[in-house]
Amino acid sequence: MFPQFGATADTLSKASTMVFRIGTDAHLYDDPDDVSIAPLLDSKFDSEKCEALKRLLALIAQGIDVSNYFPQVVKNVASQSLEVKKLVYLYLLHYAEKRPNEALLSINYFQKDLGDPNPLVRAWALRTMAGIRLHVIAPLVLVAVGKCARDPSVYVRKCAANALPKLHDLRQEEHALAIEEIVGKLLNDHSPAVVGAAAAAFASVCPYNLSLIRRNYRKLCEILPDVEEWGQIALIGILLRYVIASHGLVKESIMFSLQCTGSSHSVKDGPDADFGQVKESTDMDGTCDYEFVNMVSRCYIEGPDEYLSRSSYANRESFELTGEQFTSGKSNDDVKILLYSTSPLLWSNNSAVVLAAAGVHWVMAPKEDVKRIIKPLLFLLRSSNASKYVVLCNIQVFAKAMPSLFAPYYEDFFICSSESYQVKALKLEILSSFATDSSISSIFKEFQDYIRDPDRRFAADTIAAIGLCAQRLPKMAHICVDGLLALSREEFVTKDFGFGDQEAGILTHAILSIKSIIKQDPPSHEKVIIQLVRSLDSVKVPAARAMIIWMVGEYSSLGEIIPRMLNTVLKYLAWCFTSEALETKLQILNTVCKVLVGATEDLLTFKKIFSYLVELAECDLNYDVRDRARFLKKLPSSNLVSIGQEEGTNDLPEKDLHVVAECILGRETRKVKTESFSYRFYLPGSLSQIVLHAAPGYEPLPKPCSLLLDDLNVPEGTSEIKKRAADYSGTDDYGTSSDPSDNESASDYDSQHSVAESSGSARGDDSEFTSEGNDNADPLIQISDIGNASENQNGVSQSGPANLGELMSDRALESWLGEHSGSSNPGISEQSQVRISSARISLGDVGKRVKPKCYSLLDPATSGNGLKVDYSFSSEISSMSHLLVCIEVFFKNCSSETISEITLVDEDSNRALDAADKAADVNQSCLASSDNVPTLVPMESIASLEPDQTARRIVQVRFHHHLLPLKLALYCDGKKLPVKLRPDIGYFVKPLPMDVEVFIDKESRLPGMFEYTRSCAFTDHIEELNKENGDSLFVKDKFLAICESLALKILSNANLCLVSIDMPVAANLDDASGLRLRFSSAILSSSIPCLITITVEGKCSDPLNLSIKVNCEETVFGLNLLNRIANFLVEPTLS
Amino acid sequence: MPPLMGIEFLCRVSDVLSDYLGGLNEDVIKDNFVIVYELLDEMIDNGFPLTTEPNILREMIAPPNIVSKVLSVVTGNSSNVSDTLPGATGSCIPWRAADPKYANNEVYVDLVEEMDAVINRDGALVKCEVYGEVRVNSHLSGLPDLTLSFANPSILDDVRFHPCVRFRPWESHQILSFVPPDGEFKLMSYRVKKLKSTPIYVKPQLSSDAGKCRVNVLVGIRNDHGKTIDSITLQFQLPPCILSADLTSNTGTVNILGNKTCSWSIGRIPKDKTPSLSGTLVLESELERLHVFPTFRVGFKIMGVALSGLQIDKLDLKTAPSRLYKGFRALTRAGEFEVRS
Q: pLDDT: is A937 or A912 the higher one?
A: A937
Q: Residue B81 has what DSSP assignment?
A: B
Chain A CA closest to residue B114: A382
State whether residue B49 sits within 8 Å of chain A by CB: yes
Given this model, what pLDDT does residue A664 score?
61
* CA B315 to each of CA A358, A924, B45, B327: distance values in angstroms, whole numbers, following the listed order: 32, 64, 39, 10
How wide is the angle at C-alpha A1010 spanned by C-alphas A1004 and A1012, nearest 5°? 100
Mutate to test the interface with A, among B5, B75, B157 (most CBs of A within 10 A): B5
Q: Cα B213 to the chain's mean position, in Å?
A: 36
State the nearest Cα–Cα gap between A230 and chain B, in angstroms.
7
Provide, as residue numbers in chain B, all residues whose Cβ is less than 8 Å from the Cβ of A347.
159-161, 167, 170
Winning range, highest mean pLDDT, from A113-117, A249-253, A331-335, A366-370: A113-117
Residue with the larger pLDDT of the pair A729 and A968: A968
Q: Which chain A residues have a beta carbon less than 8 Å from that of B31?
A: 20-21, 24-26, 29
What pTM does this model have?
A: 0.66
Q: Which of A26, A499, A685 sits opposite B30 (nearest CB)?
A: A26
Give the dihedral sign, CA A14/A19/A21/A23: positive
Average pLDDT of every residue of chain A: 71
Residue A771, pLDDT above cutoff 60: no
Average pLDDT of A748-774? Answer: 39
Each residue's pLDDT tens digit, A851-867: 667 777 777 666 657 77
Q: Looking at beta carbons, which residues of chain A come within 8 Å of B26?
A: none
Say if residue A543's pLDDT is above 80. yes
Phi then psi for residue A469, to 5 deg, are: -60, -45
Q: What is the pLDDT of residue B173?
A: 86
Say if residue A1030's pLDDT is above 70. no
For residue A166, which residues of chain B lie inside 8 Å, CB to CB?
Answer: 46
Residue B52 sits at the chain A interface (C-beta within 8 Å): yes
Asked if A29 lies within 8 A of B89 by C-beta distance, the reply is: no
- Between residues A915 and B49, which one has the greater pLDDT? B49
pLDDT at position A406 over 80: yes
In angstroms, the Cα distances linking A266 to A262, A800, B124, B235 are: 8, 19, 51, 60
pLDDT > 70 in chain A, percent = 68
| Across A252-261, A391-400, A669-678, A1045-1054, least confident range | A669-678
Q: Which of B120, B171, B287 sits opposite A449 (nearest CB)?
A: B120
Across the interface, do A494 and B92 touch by the CB < 8 Å criterion? no
At residue A407, the pLDDT reads: 85
Does B52 sit within 8 Å of A687, measured CB to CB?
no
Model pLDDT, residue A15: 53
- pLDDT greater than 80 at residue A602: no
User: Using CB atoms and an 8 Å cut-off, which of residues 196-235 of chain B contact chain A?
Assistant: none
- Residue in A17, A162, A350 closest to B8 by CB: A350
Answer yes or no: do B68 and A384 touch at CB < 8 A.
Answer: no
Over residues A901-910, the mean pLDDT reads 69
Q: Which residues of A touch B158 (CB under 8 A)?
A: 375-376, 378-379
Read off the DSSP letter of residue B240: T
A340: nearest CA partner in chain B: B168
Is it the case that residue B323 has pLDDT exceeding 60?
A: yes
Interface contact A226-B84, CB threshold 8 A: no
Which chain B residue is nearest to residue A127, measuring alpha carbons?
B45
The shortest C-alpha distance from B134 to chain A (Å) reads 13
Partner residues linked to A811 by β-bridges: none
**Does residue A97 sit in helix, strand or coil?**
coil
Kindly indicate the confidence band of residue A1058, based on its pLDDT and cuts at 50, 70 and 90.
confident
| CA A70 centroid distance within chain | 44
For residues A532 and A514, is the Cβ–Cβ distance under 8 A?
Answer: yes
Residues of B in Cβ contact (< 8 Å) with A233: 2, 5
Distance CA A572, CA A594 (A): 16
pLDDT category at B112 given cuts 50, 70, 90 is very high
Cα atoms in the Cβ-side hemisphere of radius 13 Å centred on A738 = 18
Those residues with Cβ within 8 angstroms of residue A375's Cβ, 6 or more apart along the chain or in another chain: B157, B158
Among A747-756, B115-124, B156-165, the minimum mean pLDDT is found in A747-756
Q: Which of A905, A942, A937, A962 is nearest to A1086 (CA)?
A: A962
Which is more confident, A675 or B18? Answer: B18
Least confident of A334-343, A672-681, A867-876, B211-220: A672-681
The pLDDT tens digits for A937-950 are 767 777 777 777 88
CA nearest to A83, candidates B38, B58, B86: B38
**For the segment A668-677, what is each residue's pLDDT rounded down to a tens digit?**
444 444 444 4
Side-chain-side CA neighbours of B178 within 13 Å: the count stands at 25
Higher pLDDT, A1132 or B77: A1132
pLDDT over threshold 60, residue A135: yes
| Report for A434-443, A555-564, A882-891, A1094-1103: range of highest mean pLDDT | A434-443
- Residue A1029: which residues within 8 A CB-CB, separation 6 or more? none
pLDDT digits (tens, 9 = 90+) for A136-195: 888 888 888 888 888 888 888 989 999 888 888 887 777 788 888 888 888 888 888 889
Residue A923 has pLDDT above 50, yes or no: no
Which string of DSSP letters, residue by residue, matches A1068-1106?
-TTB-TT-EEEEEEEETTT--EEEEEEEEESBTTSPEEE
Of B4, B76, B241, the CB nearest to A355: B4
d(CA A892, CA A950): 4
**Structure confidence by residue, pLDDT tens digits, A948-1004:** 788 888 788 777 776 777 777 777 777 777 787 778 888 888 888 888 888 888 888
Cβ(B91)–Cβ(B311) under 8 Å? no
Mutate to test the interface with B, among A20, A25, A493 (most CBs of B within 10 A): A25
The percentage of chain A sitting over the pLDDT mark of 90, rounded to a whole number, equals: 2
B162 at interface of A, judged by CB pairs closer than 8 A: yes
Cross-chain residue pair B37–A90, CB shorter than 8 Å: yes
- Which is higher by pLDDT, A646 or A1012? A1012
pLDDT of residue B113: 92
pLDDT at position A356: 92
Model confidence at B133, pLDDT cuts 50, 70, 90, reads very high
| Model confidence at B149: pLDDT above 60 | yes
pLDDT for residue A502 is more than 70: no
> In the prediction, which pLDDT does B72 show?
61
Lowest mean pLDDT among A119-128, A287-296, A567-576: A287-296
pLDDT of residue B111: 92
Closest CB from A24, A349, A498 relative to B69: A24
DSSP A716-741: STHHHHHHHHHHHHHT---SSS--GG
- Higher model confidence: residue A930 or residue A631? A631
Q: What is the pLDDT of residue A501?
A: 63
Mean pLDDT of chain B: 83
Q: Are A680 and A692 in contact (CB under 8 A)?
A: yes
Please tell me the predicted confidence (pLDDT) of residue A353.
92
pLDDT of residue B315: 86
Residues A847, A853, A858, A859, CA torsion sign? positive
The reply to whether B258 touches chain A by the CB within 8 Å rule is no
What's the whole-number mean pLDDT along residues A295-323?
A: 57
Among the partner residues A376, A449, A686, nearest to B121 by beta-carbon distance: A449
Contacts for A9-18: CB closer than 8 Å, 24+ residues apart: A17/B27
Tell me what the mean pLDDT of segment B22-27 comes to: 84
Nearest CA in chain B to A46: B77
* Contacts with A352 from chain B: Cβ below 8 Å: 2, 4-5, 7-8
Tell me whether residues A376 and B158 touch, CB distance under 8 A: yes
